[in-house]
């Protein structure tokens, strides 16, 4: 199994940057032991103008069969010959995709600590795979790769036997892709689409495969015209998993339609300003204030809505008083970062039973979010387009209806205190609005009144006598019984102003509601 990646370059942007991007030195030939066999990485050419990296996977067919048998799959002892004599060692398949994922894992994630600017830059790439099994033929290869920005997609059928042309073509093609892309995108395309084309995964597809697909498909799969086929085949046609993945892709599309940038949003500006201005970063002060408010409310089961990369979830986990913590975010990338931060995969059972991360969009009601003590919306509302805010209000205050809701958002008045922030600029590129204290308070009071909550306000960060604190927080406490007219939780049909909603249906709002 063989794959080459070639890039071209100039004196200013040498092709050998490929070595940095792949984290593999162009002067070295390296061998990596993988579960599939030995993976060799070497560079047949490495110059300023052209550089080619090759990945050769030397599959051990005997080990493959033995492992298969050990797992009780595909290992019927009497089908002996077919197991040892097959295309697996030669054809690019899920084996190559898995090796690619292992050997180039940082490159797939777009990480390059030595040269952090490189992964973001598209560059001229040429990928060649001499033997690619393609169930669906060259036509499918085109349908899969062409929508992804590849300028040239060549899928040349490989003859069954060059000496006997009359035997016709095999089910293999020689694949050549050319285009100007970011390397991480190119690798993620291959990671997903090679096994899709082969359509015969060598391993049992477990539920975590849905996460792998969504992670690798971030930014391209949701809108790919062939996403149903890609999803079904990648998940080996396990329909339960396929349905799950399709629903999550639908969420991504809905959020995009809402105008949400499904990106890793990290409050970058806040954090930089903070370190300049004060010893304790504002984000940390915010978490302290949120924790204090949650403790004061006696909350045990907590939702962190728009949890981002999971910093608050991590803090909550440290206090056993919080018995159940659910982080919700629409961004797969943020959730992946959160899972990594929390080391979910290495967490003991006791801890992991306290925490759940789930993908969801907050402008849609979700039955799974009802019955919690408290919900936190920390620096989230300002990421929504104003016209979508009432939908979030309904989903949180009307449908999920926790006893306590904490909402933090920047106080725009404070922006003048940040010297490095140009006048009139929001703190974060994705903020759709930033409110004055008065704007925030009148919004919060109107929400509280409509949904039967009381509301109090707290300052987070130094409360400047003139412009107020950098972050403002509203603490909502449920006062009305659950059959408050605006909530529609009574179960009676036709409640005035109560939109009928089920999980993931748009939470439309009563007519009289307006965003501030
Ligand atoms: N709460 C975190 C992250 C704030 S950044 C903190 O305080 O640091 C805003 C987060 O809200 C992002 O992770 C973004 O993906 C998420 N978000 C934005 N719109 C959303 C929506 N409609 N549904 C769910 N999450 C959303």
Report CA(306)–ligand 1 centroid distance (Å): 3
Out of 286, 309, 329, mutate this one to test ligand 1's pocket (max ligand atoms within 8 Å of CB): namely 329
List the domain boundaries for the chain.
Answer: 2-203, 208-262, 282-515
Matching residue, tokens 């001229």: 124
For residue 451, pLDDT beyond 80: yes
Given its phi and psi angles, is residue 473 left (phi above 0), alpha (psi -120 to 50 degrees) or beta?
Answer: beta
Report CA(377)–ligand 1 centroid distance (Å): 8
For residue 17, pLDDT beyond 90: yes
Provide the β-strand partners of residue 58. 38
Instruction: Identify the band that residue 16 occupies on the pLDDT scale cut at 50, 70 and 90.
Output: very high
Question: Is the CB of 88 within 6 Å of ligand 1?
Answer: no
Report CA(267)–ligand 1 centroid distance (Å): 10
Given its phi and psi angles, is residue 31 left (phi above 0), alpha (psi -120 to 50 degrees) or beta?
Answer: beta
pLDDT attached to residue 13: 94
Report CA(394)–ligand 1 centroid distance (Å): 17
Nearest-atom number in ligand 1 for the CA of 428 is 5
pLDDT attached to residue 416: 84
Report CA(309)–ligand 1 centroid distance (Å): 9
pLDDT attached to residue 265: 36
What is the rounded CA–CA span in Å between residue 100 and residue 207? 21
Instruction: Identify the band that residue 419 occupies on the pLDDT scale cut at 50, 70 and 90.
Output: low
Nearest-atom number in ligand 1 for the CA of 308 is 13
Q: Answer with the residue of higher pLDDT: 263 or 210.
A: 210
In angstroms, what CA-CA distances link 244 with 26, 94, 191, 276, 327? 41, 21, 20, 44, 18
pLDDT attached to residue 499: 39
Judged on CB neighbours under 10 Å (0-12, 13-18, 19+), 213 is buried
Min mean pLDDT across 154-158, 260-264, 265-269, 460-464 is at 265-269
Report which protein residue has its CA nearest ligand 1's atom 15: 331
pLDDT digits 0-9 by tens, 349-384: 888 899 999 999 999 999 999 999 999 999 999 999
What is the rounded CA–CA span in Å between residue 477 and residue 491? 22
Domain 282-515 CATH class label: alpha beta
Q: How many helices, marked H, and strands, marked E, lie in the chain?
A: 17, 14
pLDDT attached to residue 15: 97
Report CA(262)–ligand 1 centroid distance (Å): 9
Out of 302, 330, 393, mutate this one to test ligand 1's pocket (max ligand atoms within 8 Å of CB): namely 330
Question: Is the CB of 361 within 6 Å of ligand 1?
Answer: yes
Provide the β-strand partners of residue 359. 329
Question: Is the CB of 383 within 6 Å of ligand 1?
Answer: yes
pLDDT digits 0-9 by tens, 185-243: 999 999 999 999 988 776 677 778 898 999 999 989 999 999 999 999 999 888 888 98
Nearest-atom number in ligand 1 for the CA of 363 is 22
What is the rounded CA–CA span in Å between residue 185 and residue 196? 16
Instruction: Identify the band that residue 282 occupies on the pLDDT scale cut at 50, 70 and 90.
Output: confident
Q: Answer with the residue of higher pLDDT: 207 or 504.
A: 207
Question: Is the CB of 327 within 6 Å of ligand 1?
Answer: no
Q: Whole-prediction pTM value? A: 0.60
What six digits make up the tokens of 146?
Answer: 């062409």
Question: Is the CB of 379 within 6 Å of ligand 1?
Answer: yes
- Render the burial of 56-71: b for 16+ CB within 10 Å, e for the rest: bbebeeeebbebbeee
Report CA(142)–ligand 1 centroid distance (Å): 36
For residue 183, pLDDT beyond 90: yes
pLDDT attached to residue 417: 80
Provide the β-strand partners of residue 51. 7, 46
Out of 252, 285, 308, mutate this one to test ligand 1's pocket (max ligand atoms within 8 Å of CB): namely 308
Nearest-atom number in ligand 1 for the CA of 286 is 7
Percentage of the chain exceeding pLDDT 70: 80
Task: Please state the CATH superfamily assignment of the domain spanning residues 2-203 in this structure.
Answer: Hen1, N-terminal domain (3.30.1610.20)
pLDDT attached to residue 290: 97
> What average pLDDT does range 310-327 have in this prediction?
95
For residue 500, pLDDT beyond 60: no
Percentage of the chain exceeding pLDDT 90: 56
* 2-203 matches 282-515 in fold: no
pLDDT attached to residue 82: 54
> What average pLDDT does range 128-144 have in this prediction?
93
What six digits make up the tokens of 137?
Answer: 């033929």
pLDDT digits 0-9 by tens, 83-92: 555 565 555 5
pLDDT attached to residue 377: 98
Question: Is the CB of 329 within 6 Å of ligand 1?
Answer: yes
For residue 491, pLDDT beyond 80: no
What is the rounded CA–CA span in Å between residue 439 and residue 79? 73
pLDDT digits 0-9 by tens, 432-449: 899 999 999 999 999 999
What is the rounded CA–CA span in Å between residue 267 and residue 437? 20
For residue 288, pLDDT beyond 90: yes
Report CA(386)–ligand 1 centroid distance (Å): 15
pLDDT attached to residue 482: 59
Question: Is the CB of 302 within 6 Å of ligand 1?
Answer: no
Mean per-residue pLDDT of the chain: 83
Instruction: Identify the band that residue 61 occupies on the pLDDT scale cut at 50, 70 and 90.
Output: low
Question: Is the CB of 255 within 6 Å of ligand 1?
Answer: yes
Question: Is the CB of 409 within 6 Å of ligand 1?
Answer: no
């Amino acid at each position: 199994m063989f794959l080459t990646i070639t890039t071209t370059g100039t004196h200013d942007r040498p092709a050998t940057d490929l070595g940095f991007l792949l984290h593999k030195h162009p002067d070295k030939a390296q061998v990596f032991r993988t579960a599939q066999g030995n993976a060799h990485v070497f560079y047949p050419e490495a110059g300023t103008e052209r550089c080619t990296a090759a990945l050769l996977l030397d599959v051990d067919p005997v080990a493959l069969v033995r492992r298969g048998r050990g797992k009780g799959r595909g290992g019927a002892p009497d089908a002996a010959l077919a197991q040892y004599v097959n295309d697996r060692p030669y054809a690019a398949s899920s084996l190559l995709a898995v090796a690619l994922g292992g050997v180039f894992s940082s490159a797939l994630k777009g990480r390059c600590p030595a040269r952090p600017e490189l992964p973001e830059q598209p560059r001229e790439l040429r990928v060649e795979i001499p033997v690619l099994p393609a169930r669906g033929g060259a036509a499918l290869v085109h349908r899969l790769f062409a929508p992804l920005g590849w300028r040239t997609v060549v899928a040349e059928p490989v003859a069954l036997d060059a000496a006997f042309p009359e035997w016709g073509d095999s089910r293999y093609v020689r694949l050549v892709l050319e285009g100007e892309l970011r390397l991480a995108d190119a690798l993620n395309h291959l990671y997903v689409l090679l096994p899709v084309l082969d359509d015969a995964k060598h391993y049992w597809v477990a539920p975590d495969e849905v996460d792998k697909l969504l992670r690798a498909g971030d930014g391209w799969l949701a809108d790919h015209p062939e996403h149903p086929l890609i999803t079904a085949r990648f998940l080996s046609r396990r329909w339960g998993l396929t349905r799950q993945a399709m629903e999550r892709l639908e969420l991504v599309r809905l959020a995009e339609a809402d105008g949400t940038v499904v990106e890793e949003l990290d409050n970058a500006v806040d954090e930089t300003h903070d370190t300049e201005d004060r010893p304790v970063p504002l984000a940390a002060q915010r978490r302290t204030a949120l924790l204090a408010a949650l403790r004061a409310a006696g909350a045990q089961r907590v939702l962190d809505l728009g949890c981002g990369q999971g910093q608050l979830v991590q803090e909550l986990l440290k206090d056993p008083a919080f018995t159940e913590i659910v982080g919700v975010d629409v961004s797969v990338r943020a959730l992946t970062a959160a899972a990594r931060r929390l080391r979910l995969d290495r967490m003991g059972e006791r801890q992991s039973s306290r925490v759940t991360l789930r993908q969801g969009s907050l402008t849609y009601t979700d039955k799974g979010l009802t019955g919690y003590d408290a919900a936190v919306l920390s620096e989230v509302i300002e990421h929504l387009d104003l016209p979508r805010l009432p939908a979030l209000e309904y989903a949180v205050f009307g449908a999920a209806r926790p006893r306590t809701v904490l909402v933090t958002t920047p106080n725009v008045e404070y922006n003048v205190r940040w010297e490095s922030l140009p006048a009139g600029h929001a703190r974060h590129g994705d903020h759709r609005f930033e409110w004055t204290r008065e704007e925030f308070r009148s919004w919060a009071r109107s929400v509280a009144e409509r949904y039967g909550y009381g509301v109090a306000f707290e300052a987070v960060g130094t409360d400047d006598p003139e412009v107020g604190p950098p972050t403002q927080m509203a603490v909502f406490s449920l006062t009305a019984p659950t059959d408050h007219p605006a909530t529609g939780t009574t179960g009676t049909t036709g409640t005035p102003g109560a939109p009928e909603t089920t999980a993931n249906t748009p939470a439309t709002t009563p007519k009289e509601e307006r965003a501030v």
